[in-house]
Amino acid sequence: MKLEIDKRDLLGLIGKTQNIVEKRNTMPILVNVLLDADKDALKVFATDLEVSLTDQVKVKVIQPGKVAVSAKSLFEIAKELSEGNIQLIKKENNWLEIKQGKYTSKIVGISADEYPIFPTYNAQSFIKVQANILKDMIDKTIFSVSTDETRYHLNGVYFEIVGGTGFRMVATDGHRMSIVNKTHLDSKSKSAPGVIIPRKGLGEIKKILEGVEGSVEIAIEGSQFILKHSSTTLMIRLIEGKYPNYQQFIPQKLSQKVQINRESFLTSLKRVSLLANQKSKAVLLNITEGKMEISSNNPDLGDAKEEIEVDYKGNEMKIGFNAKFITDILTSMTEDRVDFELNDQLSPGLVRPQNDTSYTCVLMPMRI
């Protein structure tokens, strides 16, 4: 294998693989990417057996060939080289020689035959979705994904295609839940059973969507979620398991509604929670007509309180919540005002953008 590639093209290609390659040593081969030079293109393959990515760029191929090398080493070397063309040459012992001007280095490689077989797909049912819609849905749910490894089926976002109408994403860790619905008008989309996309896969989807204008293509095939944009294809192995019936956890007929300026609520929570218990992040909301007092108390640090104006006309109510959970929700929104719906101090509450039911967050209260 021998080729010439522009530095920026090489960095762009290998940069996308940096978070996918397996950094733990369970399978040392997974720290490598597979390079495949053929015709006028260099293809890269990266996988950790859960998330797999393939991409390609146009290059000058002098001699076709394949080799697997350390993704980190190749990226770090390319980053320090000058602008312009770089030569990549596979040597007989599977080492990769990197040349530019008077600079030469060789990095240890392995035979392409030893690299894991890359997942394939033949999905004919790709549907188009606006990149900004998909990214927004991930931003509104990923913070609620459970990090508890023993609850494996909650370590991802539940994704449904609701035929003819749109998409739904749901995430919960047992203490909070985020549900977002987006209307989608692609006539090809048919209802499909929901799937669970793992957190790492969602992070990689977000990276691809950054800066993308227009649409991307997605498909669900067997145990894989597939996303395509331009020359990039991302394949994510779905989490097996049954997602809980999330609908039953959405409280109905909440009797009290508080309307709040999102920004003032968010900044006040951040200030007051600085002196909350560092583990529980508990704050107490004391809601009375026209105002809400937010307070925290930590015997080791001190206490804090702040009062903000709200639109509320019900009875006085005191209820505790994890401040970080509320700030995560408020940060994911852009609207000026939010609806905070409650029943009593022991029942879960709902947070939504004002008069918008397409995005719902359920919060369990805390005893304070």
Q: What are the pLDDT digits (tens) for 161-218?
A: 887 678 999 999 999 999 999 987 665 666 678 999 999 999 999 999 998 999 999 9
Residue 8, in any domain of the structure: yes
- Lowest mean pLDDT segment, chosen from 53-57, 165-169, 202-206, 311-315: 165-169
Q: Nearest-CA neighbor of 103 among 76, 89, 82?
A: 82
Residue 24, in any domain of the structure: yes
Question: Does residue 95 sit in the same domain as residue 78?
Answer: yes
- Boundary of a domain, candidates 247, 275, 305: 247
Mean of the pLDDT values across residues 339-363?
A: 95
**How much of the chain exceeds pLDDT 70, in percent?**
97
Contacts 24+ apart (CB under 8 A), 205-213: 205/134, 205/138, 205/234, 205/236, 206/135, 206/138, 206/139, 206/142, 207/16, 207/19, 208/16, 208/232, 208/234, 209/131, 209/132, 209/134, 209/135, 209/138, 210/135, 212/131, 213/131
Count of CB atoms situated within 10 Å of the CB of 134:
24
**pLDDT at position 52:** 96
Residue 161, in any domain of the structure: yes
**pLDDT at position 361:** 98
| Structural domain count, the chain | 3
Question: Does residue 133 sit in the same domain as residue 82?
Answer: no
**pLDDT at position 186:** 61
Question: Does residue 93 sit in the same domain as residue 155?
Answer: no
Statement: residue 368 has pLDDT above 90: no
Question: Which letter does DSSP use for residue 117 in this model?
Answer: P
Yes or no: say if 260 and 292 are a contact pair by the CB < 8 Å rule. Answer: yes
Instruction: Give the up-direction half-sphere exposure of residue 204: CA atoms within 13 A in the CB hemisphere.
Output: 32
* 220 token code pair: 């669900």
CA 7 to chain centre: 28
Residue 368, in any domain of the structure: no
Question: Which letter does DSSP use for residue 59 in this model?
Answer: -
- In whole angstroms, give the CA distance from residue 255 to residue 80: 62
Question: Which letter does DSSP use for residue 275 in this model?
Answer: G
Yes or no: say if 53 and 46 are a contact pair by the CB < 8 Å rule. Answer: yes
Measured between alpha carbons, how far is residue 298 from residues 134, 276, 303, 328 in Å?
40, 5, 6, 22
Question: Does residue 146 sit in the same domain as residue 236?
Answer: yes
Question: Does residue 33 sit in the same domain as residue 69?
Answer: yes
Question: Does residue 266 sit in the same domain as residue 241?
Answer: no
Residue 25, in any domain of the structure: yes
Residue 72, in any domain of the structure: yes
**pLDDT at position 16:** 93
**pLDDT at position 291:** 97
121-150 pLDDT per residue, tens:
886 778 899 999 999 999 999 999 999 988
Statement: residue 70 has pLDDT above 70: yes
Question: Does residue 225 sit in the same domain as residue 210?
Answer: yes
Question: Does residue 201 sit in the same domain as residue 313?
Answer: no
The H-assigned helical ranges of the chain are 7-15, 71-80, 131-139, 199-209, 262-272, 323-331
The pTM of this model reads: 0.92
Question: Does residue 164 sit in the same domain as residue 65?
Answer: no
Residue 263, in any domain of the structure: yes
| CATH at residue 320 | 3.10.150.10
3-state secondary structure 133-171: HHHHHHHCCHHHCCCCCCCHHHCEEEEEEECCCEEEEEE
Enclosing domain of residue 292: 250-363
Mean of the pLDDT values across residues 276-296?
A: 96
- Dihedral over alpha carbons 329, 335, 337, 342 (to 10 degrees): -40
- Boundary of a domain, candidates 194, 214, 247: 247
Average pLDDT of the chain?
A: 94
Sign of CA dihedral 337, 341, 347, 348: negative
∠ CA 361-362-364 to the nearest 5 degrees?
145
Question: Does residue 147 sit in the same domain as residue 174?
Answer: yes
Residue 122, in any domain of the structure: no
Question: Does residue 350 sit in the same domain as residue 258?
Answer: yes
Question: Does residue 243 sit in the same domain as residue 260?
Answer: no
pLDDT band at 22 (very low <50, low <70, confident <90, very high): confident
- Boundary of a domain, candidates 59, 87, 114: 114
